[in-house]
Amino acid sequence: MEDIKKPVHVVIYYNFNMFDNEICEYLKNKITTEVISIKTCSDHQELFSEVRKGNVDLIFTEYNYLYKNCDSGEQQKLKNLCAKNNVKTLIFMQNSNTLLIKKVIQQQYDALVSTHDSIDELQRAIGHLISDSEKQFISKVLTEAVNDKLKNQDQIALTSKEWEVVFLIAQGHSLSDIAAKKNRAISTVATQKQNAMKKLDIKSNAELLKYAYLNGML
């Protein structure tokens, strides 16, 4: 008797149609070992609801999108929901900044894949998640970036809050916006921005935006 394949329910949390279409087509055409059910959503409350209902096995999202739309408390809430409901998360990363990659690795998502990886590497990541392995999957491009000791960025030690301020400034938020959003004094946010710029050897807001662009924050 032929084995009946168990459906794998995938939710893509993102808002770019091109991303949705490419991933959906790939999953439907290339993943032949499992039956794939795909849903897309751009609202995190809808995502939380789907996870609570037990309608999700895998979540695919992009790190900057997740970071922009879910604060640290909501990200932790999502992690807790996923742990409770046995949901695995695959994070796409658009940049190869060593320190940012290390930061995301430490957040213990189930799989990390660069948008610069090959489609075969994505297939490996999906197979790893479906196998129920407890080990974190880190793609070839991201592993090479972390292990590249020649990069000057390895010598930069931004704190998590400094990274947060740089990211939010790159997204168009003012210092007062960030202070209100993160419940900090404007002077504290200004100091965190200044410290980050000093560590990155950046002299102006234009250089800061250029750095953010080159590292996939825009």
- Write the pLDDT tens digit of every residue in 52-99: 998 899 999 988 888 888 877 888 899 999 999 999 999 998 766 777
Q: Given a cut of 90, is residue 187 above it in pLDDT? A: yes
Q: How many whole angstroms separate alpha carbon 136 and alpha carbon 112?
A: 8
pLDDT at 180: 92
Q: Given a cut of 70, is residue 45 above it in pLDDT? A: yes
Cα-to-chain-centroid distance, residue 25: 21
Strand partners, 9: 37
3-state secondary structure of 12: strand
* Average pLDDT, rounded, for the chain: 81
Q: Given a cut of 90, is residue 28 above it in pLDDT? A: no
What would the two tokens of residue 32 be? 């032949």
pLDDT at 20: 54
- Let me know: does 22 contact 52? Beta carbons within 8 Å: no
In the chain, % of residues over pLDDT 70: 78
- Angle CA 15–17–21, to nearest 5: 125
- Write the pLDDT tens digit of every residue in 124-145: 898 898 887 889 999 999 998 8
Q: Which of 8-17, 165-174, 177-186 has the lowest mean pLDDT?
A: 8-17
Q: Is the dihedral of CA 154, 74, 164, 122 positive or negative?
A: positive
Q: Given a cut of 90, is residue 170 above it in pLDDT? A: no
- Write the pLDDT tens digit of every residue in 101-126: 888 888 889 999 998 888 888 888 98
- Is the pTM higher than 0.95? The answer reads no
Q: DSSP states of 51-83 as a string?
A: HHTT--SEEEEEHHHHHHHS-HHHHHHHHHHHH
